[in-house]
């Protein structure tokens, strides 16, 4: 339990965690219950720690209710991919699982993970077991723990990328829950059950009740901020000198989620508090996790993220507490510069002599359609790729990485044969867009996002073309609710769903991810969105400075009033 918190006031989830026997709960009994497609109420919370959420097809809910049937429950499984790098064999396994057990598509998330959707309860255990057989897993992909650790995969950065990737993997492994419940339930019960089943392995970092809420760590390699490093609880900014990794600047307190109508909730960007050498960074991350474990709000989950802990206690308190737990002070932060939080598309040759090809994936959804066979094409590449890899980006795209000179023509042919080369001929607005799943699968969604954003971008593109700036990159983010999974508050144009067909419009974030946007107008229809953006885009086309980005223009012209703090975020 956190320091100085009244146990009687703890949220229900805290009590569930405390009684769970380190996340085992009654999940095995829930899985055997054939009366419902759902789990017992307490296990719906616990299964998140195992990498899964309960979902239902919301478009069928009304019809099923009329038939006196429960919702058509299924499960999303999120597969952790530390640093975003998967082998071709692992890609094939995930692709196979989508066909055998779930929706026949793959979802690439904004945090470099795979998601499988529409997994029914009777297939859940086998699906997770096969994920583990591939040497990937889903533990800690969700839940009140440190989640998938992100890293820049931009091929320009390959000079130090391998060293930074090693840090991402080390931090991920160190902060993974140590409970045996995951393996006992999903993988091999006999292998992990000891003499005393009532005494599972304890958690040396997390303790019995884990963290107050989710915790996210990301690494970025300047000048590329493709992981949105300031949007996370801890951001590690790689500092290199003459091609060597020296260590990391440490940012703390980022987070995207908020709740409509509750001004005590807000997105927040992280603060850079110092520099740590590479060999000390894992310990720095652990100590920051333990500060949140001990001081985070366990009474109100809406105010329980690390960002609120920092604002409640003060940044100086948290910095001093970190230094005390480390036994030394962090060094002064080193200079760095970010230029973009987008991806670099097309073929690039790395310093290791191998080729990297970043492919645009609309909404992160890997599927086939009548125009191109995206899923079949990537599968075909995975089947022939020898020594290469698949790199999931923080922008829902994928890099075909470490391709040899010999294999590059083979990959290029498969891209053409499956229509994927033509699929890359999209506008820069599309390339710099992110959308969460939203309707019809997400239980929290108020409106569409993934299925709708591409058509809305097409209409915004028409406006851009009208004013002669059709190839200007602008970051556009859309989510179906305010929780911020698609990081909408870092879009130069951000849309957050209020109701079906209605979106709040946020404007003025920076192109490189170091400034939030602010609320501009509320509950707009598509027609109102276009009418609002048209004169702004016209003004941008006619009055922008050289190399000025759209968000910077809006701030400079006073169209967006921004004091660069959380306090102005809810001001219309």
H or E element: which one contains 252?
Answer: strand 244-252
Q: Which residue has the tokens 């130069």?
A: 492
Instruction: Report the domain count for the chain.
Output: 3
Q: Which of 199-203, 280-284, 355-359 has the lowest mean pLDDT?
A: 199-203
Separation of alpha carbons 266 and 55, rounded Å: 26
At 315 the three-state DSSP class reads: helix
Burial of 55-90, coded b for 16+ CB within 10 Å and e otherwise, reads bbbeeeeeeeeeeeeebbebbbbbbbbbbbbbbbeb
Contact status, residue 273 vs residue 314, Cβ threshold 8 Å:
no
Residue 407 lies in domain: 347-424
Task: Decide if 190 is inside a domain.
Answer: no
Q: 361 and 332, same structural domain?
A: no
73-79, strands of its sheet edge to edge:
52-56, 73-79, 114-119, 106-108, 365-366
Position 419 scores a pLDDT of 94
Give the active site residue among 107, 111, 367, 481.
481
Q: Is residue 170 part of a domain?
A: yes
The answer to whether 228 and 218 are in contact (CB under 8 A) is: yes
Please measure the distance between the N-terminal and C-terminal CA atoms of the chain and give it in whole angstroms: 38
Q: CA triplet 531, 532, 535: central angle to 5 degrees?
A: 85
User: What does the alpha-carbon distance between residue 408 and residue 354 come to, in Å, rounded to a whole number?
Assistant: 9
pLDDT at 196: 46
Are 271 and 232 part of one and the same domain?
A: yes
Place of tokens 């009654």: 26
Dihedral in degrees, nearest 10, Cα atoms 232, 238, 239, 240? -170
295 and 238, same structural domain? yes
Each residue's pLDDT tens digit, 504-553: 999 999 999 999 999 999 999 999 999 999 999 999 999 999 999 999 99
Q: Which of 442, 487, 498, 515 does the annotation list as catalytic?
A: 442
Residue-level pLDDT at 68: 87
With beta carbons less than 8 A apart as the criterion, state whether 428 and 471 touch: yes
Residue 118 phi, psi (nearest 5): 65, 40
299/383 same-domain check: no
Domain boundary among 376, 396, 424: 424
Indicate which residue of 80, 485, 487, 515 is catalytic: 485
Same domain, 400 and 372: yes
Q: Give the end of a domain, one of 342, 376, 405.
A: 342
Q: Are residues 395 and 490 in the same domain?
A: no
Where does the pLDDT of residue 441 fall: very low under 50, low under 70, confident under 90, or very high at 90 and above? confident
DSSP secondary structure string for all residues of 393-460? -TTS-EEEEEE-TTTHHHHHHHHHHTTHHHHT---HHHHTEEE---TTT-TT-SS-STTTHHHHHHHH
pLDDT in tens, 370-380: 989 999 999 99
The residue annotated as part of the active site, out of 216, 307, 477, 498, is 216
**Assign residue 184 a region: left if phi > 0, alpha if psi is -120 to 50, beta otherwise?**
alpha
The count of C-alpha atoms lying within 13 angstroms of the C-alpha of 509, restricted to the half-sphere facing its C-beta, is 32
Query: Per-residue confidence at 192, pLDDT binned at 50, 70, 90?
Result: very low
Domain boundary among 288, 312, 342: 342
78 catalytic per annotation: yes
Instruction: State the average pLDDT over residues 444-455.
Output: 96
Three-state secondary structure of 337-357: CCCECCCCCEEEECCCCCEEE
Domain of 230, CATH number, reads 3.30.413.10
The better pLDDT of the pair 156, 478 is held by: 478
Q: Which helix (H) or strand (E) holds 563?
A: none
Q: CB-hemisphere CA count at 13 Å for 57?
A: 13
pLDDT reading at 247 higher than 80:
yes
Span 80-102, mean pLDDT? 97
Helix (H, G, I), strand (E, B) or coil at 39: coil
For residue 52, is it within any domain?
no
Closest CA to 366 of 23, 99, 65, 47: 99
Determine the pLDDT at residue 154: 86
- The strand pairing partners of 75, in sequence order, are 54, 119
Residue range 65-77: average pLDDT?
93
Are 377 and 419 contained in the same domain? Answer: yes
Is residue 453, in this structure, part of any structural domain at all? Answer: yes
Residue 193 in domain: no
Quick check: 35 pLDDT over 90?
yes
Neighbours of 13 (CB within 10 A): 20
Q: Which tens digit of pLDDT belongs to each residue from 137-150?
A: 999 999 999 999 99
Determine, yes or no, domain membership for 264: yes
Per the prediction, the chain carries an average pLDDT of: 94
- Sheet containing 244-252: order of strands: 217-220, 234-241, 244-252, 271-277
Q: What is the CATH number of the domain that holds 383?
A: 3.90.480.10
Confirm whether 485 is a catalytic residue.
Answer: yes
Q: What is the mean pLDDT of residues 388-404?
A: 97
CA distances from 269 to 44, 255, 469 (A): 30, 7, 30
User: Residue 1 has what pLDDT?
Assistant: 47
State whether residue 373 is helix, strand or coil: strand
Band (8; pLDDT cuts 50, 70, 90): confident
Which residues are paired to 435 by β-bridges? Answer: 478
Residues facing residue 249 across a β-bridge = 237, 275
| pLDDT beyond 70 at 195 | no
Q: Which of 289, 284, 152 is CA-nearest to residue 216?
A: 289
Residue 418 in contact with residue 410, Cβ under 8 Å?
no
Q: Is 107 a catalytic residue?
A: no
- 381 closest CA partner among 403, 406, 365, 363: 403
- Residues 314, 260 share a domain: yes
The answer to whether residues 187 and 113 touch, using CB atoms and an 8 Å cutoff, is no
Same structural domain, 331 and 370: no
Distance between CA atoms of residues 524 and 449, nearest Å? 14
Tell whether 294 is covered by a domain.
Answer: yes
CA distance 177 to 167: 18
**Which one of 107, 111, 214, 319 is the catalytic residue?**
214
Longest dimension (CA), the chain: 75
**Residue 442 appears among annotated catalytic residues:** yes
Residue 131 lies in a domain: no
Residue 142 bears catalytic tag: no
Whether residue 287 sits in one domain with residue 151: yes
Nearest partner of 229 among 474, 514, 511, judged by Cα: 514
Find the catalytic residue in 111, 147, 268, 354: 147
Q: What is the pLDDT of residue 2?
A: 60
Specify whether 285 is catalytic.
no
pLDDT digits (tens, 9 = 90+) for 529-543: 999 999 999 999 999
- Say yes or no: 416 and 437 in one domain: no
- Summarize pLDDT for 456-466 with one digit per residue, the tens: 999 999 999 99
Q: How many helices and strands in the chain, by DSSP H and E?
A: 19, 19
Check pLDDT > 90 for residue 60.
no
Same domain membership, residue 420 and residue 280: no
Residue 299's contacts (CB-CB under 8 Å, 6 or more residues apart) are 5, 6, 9, 10, 11
Give residue 443's pLDDT band: very low, low, confident or very high (50, 70, 90): confident
Q: Which one of the listed residues 142, 365, 436, 477 is annotated catalytic?
A: 436
């Amino acid at each position: 339990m956190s320091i100085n918190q009244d146990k009687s006031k703890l949220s229900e989830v805290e009590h569930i965690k405390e009684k769970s026997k380190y996340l085992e709960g009654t999940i095995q009994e829930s899985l055997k219950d054939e009366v419902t497609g759902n789990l017992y109420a307490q296990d719906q919370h616990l299964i998140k720690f195992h990498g899964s959420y309960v979902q239902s097809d919301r478009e069928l809910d009304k019809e099923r209710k009329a038939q006196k049937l429960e919702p058509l429950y299924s499960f999303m499984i999120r597969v952790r991919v530390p640093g975003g790098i998967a082998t071709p064999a692992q890609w094939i396994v995930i692709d196979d699982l989508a066909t055998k057990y779930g929706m026949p598509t793959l979802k690439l998330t904004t945090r470099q993970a795979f998601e499988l959707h529409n997994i029914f309860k009777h297939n859940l255990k086998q699906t997770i077991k096969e994920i583990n057989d591939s040497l990937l897993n889903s533990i800690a992909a969700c839940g009140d723990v440190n989640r998938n650790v992100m890293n820049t995969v931009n091929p320009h950065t390959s000079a130090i990328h391998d060293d930074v990737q090693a840090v991402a993997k080390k931090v991920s492994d160190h902060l993974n829950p140590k409970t045996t419940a995951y393996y006992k339930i999903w993988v091999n019960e006999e292998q992990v059950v000891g003499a005393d089943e009532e005494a599972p392995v304890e958690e040396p970092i997390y303790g019995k009740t884990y963290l107050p809420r989710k915790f996210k760590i990301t690494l970025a390699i300047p000048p590329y901020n493709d992981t949105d490093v300031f949007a996370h609880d801890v951001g590690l900014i790689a500092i290199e000198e003459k091609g060597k990794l020296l260590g990391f600047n440490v940012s703390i307190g980022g987070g995207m989620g908020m709740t409509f109508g509750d001004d005590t909730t807000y997105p927040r960007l992280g603060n850079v508090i110092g520099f740590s050498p590479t060999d000390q960074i894992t310990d720095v991350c652990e100590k920051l996790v333990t500060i949140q474990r001990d001081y985070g709000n366990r009474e109100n989950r809406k105010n329980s993220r690390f960002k609120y802990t920092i604002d409640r206690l003060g940044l100086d308190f948290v910095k001093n507490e970190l230094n005390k737990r480390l036994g030394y002070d962090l060094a002064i932060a080193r200079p760095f510069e970010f230029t973009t939080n987008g991806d670099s598309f097309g073929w690039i040759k790395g310093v290791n002599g191998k080729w990297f090809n970043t492919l645009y994936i609309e909404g992160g959804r890997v599927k086939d359609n009548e125009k191109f066979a995206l899923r079949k094409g990537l599968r075909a590449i995975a089947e022939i790729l020898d020594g290469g890899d698949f790199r999931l980006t923080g922008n829902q795209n994928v890099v075909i990485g470490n391709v040899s000179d010999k294999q590059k023509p083979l990959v290029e042919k498969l891209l053409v044969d499956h229509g994927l080369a033509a699929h890359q001929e999209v506008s820069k607005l599309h390339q710099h867009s992110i959308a969460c799943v939203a309707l019809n699968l997400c239980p929290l969604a108020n409106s569409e996002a993934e299925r709708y954003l591409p058509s809305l971008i097409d209409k915004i593109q028409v406006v851009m073309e009208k004013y002669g700036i059709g190839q200007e990159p602008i970051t556009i983010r859309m989510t179906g609710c305010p929780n911020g999974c698609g990081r909408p508050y870092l879009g130069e144009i951000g849309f957050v769903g209020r109701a079906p067909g209605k979106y709040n419009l946020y404007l003025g974030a920076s192109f490189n991810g170091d400034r939030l946007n602010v609320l501009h107008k509320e509950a707009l229809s598509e027609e109102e969105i276009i009418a609002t953006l048209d004169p702004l885009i016209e003004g941008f086309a006619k009055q922008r400075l050289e190399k000025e980005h759209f968000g910077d223009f809006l701030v400079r012209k006073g169209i967006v009033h921004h004091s660069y703090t959380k306090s102005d975020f809810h001001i219309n």
